[in-house]
Structure 1
Amino acid sequence: MAPSSSSSSLHAHSTSMIFMFAAVFLNLFHLSEGKTCAPSSCGHIRNISYPFRLNTDPKHCGDERFTLFCENNNATVLHFNSGKYNVRSINYTALTIRVSDVGVREDDCSSFPISPLSGRYEYLTDTMVLVSCPIPLNSPSFIDTSPCFSSGNYSYLAPARKTGLGDLQVGCSIVKSVLVPAGRNYTSYEEIHQDLFSGFELYWDRAAAPAHYVYMCEIYHFLRINHGSCRQVDARKVRAVVIQILYTLKGSGLDIIYLICLLQAAKASIGAPFMIALLIYTWRRRHLSAYDKVEDFLKNHNNLMPIRYSYSEIKKMTGGFKEMLGKGGFGAVYKGKLRSGHFAAVKMLLNSKGNGEDFISEVATIERIHHVNVVQLIGFCVEGCKRALVYEFMPNGSLDKYLLSQEGLTSTMSWEEMFRISVGVARGIQYLHQGCDMQILHFDIKPHNILLDENFTPKVSDFGLARLYSKANNTIATLTAARGTIGYMAPELFYKNIGRVSYKADVYSFGMLVLDMAGKRNKLNISTNDSSQYFPEWVYNQVSEGRNGEIGGTTEEENKIAKKMVMVGLWCIEMNPCNRPSMNKVVDMLNGDVDGLQLPPRAVSEPIEAWVNDETDMSFDYSTESTSLISNFK
């Protein structure tokens, strides 16, 4: 009986230690939870209370990061990732909120999600492509979507990873893509659409710090603010606290899964003190290794132009990290002030990769760049596990803020401003490809990563995904994982049969950016008259049939600008990378006469991705997330 008693005592001691951690976390991070406000209601969502709030509630009610919007007094909407999601239900007992993309309607099987979401791990979601063909296909991989997408052709959905161009008949085109839960064996389109309409649940953790407040469970998308999958998270406080500790240690998703399993074994065998010591040892070993790697890099690049700051200087520069400009997968961006009196944007890499690859990539890339259309790196900080990048401050924020008005209907910029910005971005990318001794591929061109200075001069930013390559080798043989943001990511990055990855991937992203600007300038970003028709296909038809007024402005000059942007964009998003122009050619096309431009050939060259409304710092990103240096992030 003695061993049993000893084991029970040890287990009780282990459990009490963990619950002590729970009490500490709860006390530290939820002092504000005692605020009481009357519950709000909107439509069928009743008793909206802490941490949620309606935008019309008093400011002291709820948490502003959990603000919901009541539209037309009957729809509760979550604004997220520059997209909108209908709130289906809120369960305060289970700590979950179920939401679905506003683009998916139950009574319209042709409706697709408008906004891409975030997911770090490819095993959580699968990509399916919508294929349009003039003749029927007889492959079991293709799921018939008729009559939902009836445009005179046969339409099918197929898994992108299992579908090659060789499987398509002549005249077939890939017109849209959508993310679905990984591992599902769908037999009908009705099942897929029901999953899309059902949406997904987000889980918030009472034991989480404010900066790590929402953890989410994947249903049809995996969404995150921090690394890791909450599919391993139990609702019990014990495991929630352990998850929080691991998040604080900046563990990767696989690290978290491994350490949770380790925890369960440790609790039953060697006790909580040894388990905690093991966690500390694991954390120190990983971060010392990362620190050594970064230091080796800096020693080998001791001629770097940017200034190296100490952490105390960074803290003083930001006033103790007082004013946050934005946050994302890398961490947070704060407004700072240099000794010269100029403002700066300080990017704290709170979730830096295990070996410091994101820091090394960004510093190694951007220290080579000096161009009016590329954001300038002023300095950096490496001190233990603390890393920061100091950039020039962009007072007008990022481009995505100007693509949508307050009502979310149309861009607030004129056609002339849009065109000037598109030319500036093209010149910035042209410089990255040809202006340096090494070719720089960005891999994440999108509105959120285009910053605007006081004169609205565009600057390409966020080089966390960028890679350097020799100009003599335009094809990348070493890229093993898809990089970028769904909606702007070139199809060859995840659809291997299309072609090899090269600088043409940035050309594709730029084309989607230009079409995004043109569409949102004229209220065409969400849908067309035929909701089953892909926007680039629709705009191609308008231009080819001479209906330029549908896409242009109110004057002849605006119509010419709109037509030029659309035609350049269509060339850039050609399915075959070989058919896309170089950025040198793109700049020439933008600066040339619109009458000298021709539409690209129409064949199996439709872009792969659906027209989407991207992005803040949480866009779907196969490799990592972006943090933009914006001045008034909300």
Structure 2
Amino acid sequence: MYNRTWTPEMGRSMERFILLLHFLLVAIFAELIGAGRDECPESRCRHHGPAIRFPFRLKDRQPEHCGYPGFDLYCNDNNQAVLELPSSVKLLVKNINYKSHEIQVYDEHACLPRQLPHLKLSASPFQFKSSYSLGDYTFLNCSSTEESWSQIPCLSGLGYDICAIPSDGFVHDFQLLSCTKVYNVSSLPYELFGYQNIVLHLNWSYSICEDCEAKGRKCGLKKNNRAEPETQCLGKLPKGALTKRLEVIGAVFGSILLVLGIVLVLYRAHRLDKIKKEYQVKIENFLVDYKALKPTRYSYADIKRITNQLKDKLGEGGYGTVFKGNLTNEILVAVKILNNITGNGEDFINEVGTMATIHHVNVVRLVGFCADGSKRALVYEFLPNESLEKFIFSQDDKKHFLGWEKLQDIALGTAKGIEYLHQGCDQRILHFDIKPHNILLDGNFNPKISDFGLAKLCSKEESVVSMTAARGTMGYIAPEMLSRNFGNVSYKSDIYSFGMMLLEMVGGRKNIDIRVENPSQAYFPEWVYNSLDKGEELRIRIEKVGDAKIAKKLTIVGLWCIQWYPVDRPSMKVVVQMLEGDGDNLIMPPNPFASTIQMNSTVTY
């Protein structure tokens, strides 16, 4: 008789074998029982919470095969559904749309940026969905900042601000002081920095159960030995199927059990490795595609759908008509339908070609465009407070007067936007139509420069721009645009227009106004210069202490900008510095209205 000593190692091997046999039996009988009942029913963490079904599953409540790998959810102590992304990034689930394959998530503490350094989306089956674009951002620890757009309030503290700026931008484009780099984060949606309580939109692949859902059938995982998980459409088994399965499985179970255990272990290891590599490749390809994104091109049918068949008109002018539209329930846009295009369509080309390269908090964002046959349209971000013109030329001063502090903020923001166009882009952008009508205001009255139809691009080394005809709006056009006797056309032409706009903001009316009672005040820039030169008060609307000082500062800066000769005007960088100062050290500029020739030229406006 053959005898062999029973060793501890043999015992441990047997224990592992029994444990494996136990798990296999549980899995097999779970499948058999599942033939007669649904062990993966739709579930929720709370009564009004999002419905959870395949490809999602609730961990610790449902078996693994009830969900696709990487789609695990769990319920927290408050019975809220939680999605855990790599690495240990936990987000609450607001909604799941199984038709569009989209899950909406948000941070429980309204401070999503705190978790961003740990987020490794490439190791998950999800990808960001953005209505604009994805970008790389650098987080900085700064002693102070005036850029409210870039601040992360929930990360900032007393005496320091945590800010996020586009990694491909220039730090000097933002008003940041004494900053230290904290970390970089790649491929974030643009709208992440536009709201305090941001809701992130994540997509998963349409290849998971797309056909089943289209047929209105349930979906689940196939139980096979393939490396890649497969899904199948589920239906009710016919009567007798359970008995037949028991007979077949009982007959072959003993002979294949050991082989099946080994195969399952190898299969699981191989499957996880392959899934990880495939998701990594998918995310990398996705990011490469997003780097090349430009404003979206829409068909005219898309434009009509976005604007609800051109229903809500915001305004109309010689350039065309503007309608309010919706890209989604949360993202509003303004759609400018251009009039019938004649000639070579230079204005349309200028607008799209120029704005596609611009990204600045004080420049309106071009979301997309339409060039469908003879139809032309431009799709912008929606700015609810319309244009600056509405607030400085209004007859109802009590209703529309913004106050001098807000006017100063608008002037400074506009100046920063122009400085960015002149110095912050790869090529210098000359706007040539700066005026109140083209300064739009968002919900917080932050200014954004719009309408680049007359813009011209040139290298930063060019000090002179060739022009075949004057561009702009009368009353804002620089003298050198009309006569080269005053000098050459350059970026200083935009500074002249900005100065005329500043003086209109101070006067609360057009610079030329023949309706005023005193004829000497008909041309406001000359009248206000003479008043300041004589030490007289400006006699404009003053509501509280400090208003007169702000009005005087804006006036002096405006008078510096409208010097007749370009060489006498400051650069926009100097203008920004003057507007940021308290105004005590500003000196009066030379009188631009001194000579008879210049005064005669003034009358032609």
TM-score scaled by length of structure 2: 0.48
> Highest relative contact order (Cα 8 Å, sep 6+), 1 or 2?
1
Specify the structure having the higher radius of gyration (Cα). Answer: 2
